[in-house]
Amino acid sequence: GGILDTAAAYLRGELPGQVTGARRDHPIKQYGWAQMQLRYEQSRALLYRAIDEAVIDPSEAQLATGWAAAVTVMEHAAEVASTAIRVCGGQSMQKNLPLERMYRDARLGSTMLPWSAEVCMERLGRSRLYTEG
């Protein structure tokens, strides 16, 4: 499972190796959980739009949608991971639990070439400024 699955299991007190019990009854935990779901759904919607528009020899607009989706997914993954840590608390970062690794992977994912967030933002920033469409 991913960050959402891990955070949900932790908040329910069901994550193997977890020291503490369920924390899902706290309104602030529920609010953070809602934030995580919102970012996930936003990323997913844009990613699916980019996939639906994907073709061989894409237009500049289709490329821009793809770059925007890539950046959004990378940035939201890091944001969701950070929110998961804040919501689940410091004990969720123990080395024997998966959230610490997931957080690190989400943060570093946007730096990986050839399609780092910076590369995508550079291309997105240039798109449609020099050509119409």
Q: Which whole number is the average pLDDT over 91-111?
A: 89
Fold of 3-126: Butyryl-CoA Dehydrogenase, subunit A; domain 3 (1.20.140)
Is the Cα dihedral 44, 35, 73, 5 positive or negative?
negative
SS3 97: coil
Instruction: Please report, rounded to a whole number, the percentage of residues in the chain having pLDDT higher than 70.
Output: 97
Q: Please measure the distance between the N-terminal and C-terminal CA atoms of the chain and give it in whole angstroms.
A: 39
Average pLDDT, the chain: 91
What's CA 63's distance to the chain center, in Å?
21
pLDDT digits (tens, 9 = 90+) for 16-52: 887 777 788 889 999 999 999 999 999 999 999 999 9
